[in-house]
Amino acid sequence: MLWLLRHAEAADGPADDERPLTERGVRQADAAGLALARLGANVDSCLSSPKLRALQTAQRACEPLGIEVTIEPRLSGQPFDVQELTAGLGDVLLVGHDPSFSLTLHDLTGTQARMRKGGLAAISKGELVTLLRPSELAAIATADEAIA
């Protein structure tokens, strides 16, 4: 399974690489991690863009999963080769940016969708399995334990 998590909401700033998450972005990143855990997602490794907003998103999302984040410069926003990047890593969570994530989603599945900040997609064998908005991730993350 390949998971794509677009970085959560970030503050405006002159240095693009150094823009941190906003308070809302922190909540979005936390919700993504909790939702992945509650959904029982199997994630073997996490690769993140080195840009601060993506790295913070990855770190917060991976905490409930108990996995370390590896910085991957090829996820900085330009197109990348998914197979080359994820070869041998098992089920992978990639944390990065648009438009490259929406393009990757299209290239792998044919889906015409724009990934929202803090949004999550799951792809298996060329099929889009899940596409969740930040609000949907928050609902999963905070759902009553009896439902999970």
We report the CATH number of the domain holding residue 49 as: 3.40.50.1240
Q: Tell me whether residue 147 is in a domain.
A: no
Q: Tell me whether residue 49 is in a domain.
A: yes
- Domain containing residue 26: 2-142
The whole-number pLDDT of residue 13 equals 84
Token output for 145? 């334990």
Q: Tell me whether residue 106 is in a domain.
A: yes
The whole-number pLDDT of residue 94 equals 98
Q: Tell me whether residue 121 is in a domain.
A: yes
Contacts of residue 146, defined as CB under 8 A and 6 or more positions apart, other chains included, come to: none
Domain total of the chain:
1
The whole-number pLDDT of residue 148 equals 43
Q: Tell me whether residue 29 is in a domain.
A: yes
Q: Tell me whether residue 46 is in a domain.
A: yes
Q: Tell me whether residue 14 is in a domain.
A: yes
CA distance 121 to 50: 20
The whole-number pLDDT of residue 145 equals 53
Question: pLDDT tens digits for the chain (148 residues)?
Answer: 999 999 999 999 889 999 999 999 999 999 999 999 999 999 999 999 999 999 999 999 999 999 999 999 999 999 999 999 999 999 999 999 999 999 999 999 999 999 999 999 999 999 999 999 999 999 999 986 544 4
**CA-based nearest residue to 95, from 143, 66, 59, 44:** 59
What is the pTM assigned to this prediction? 0.95
Q: Tell me whether residue 148 is in a domain.
A: no
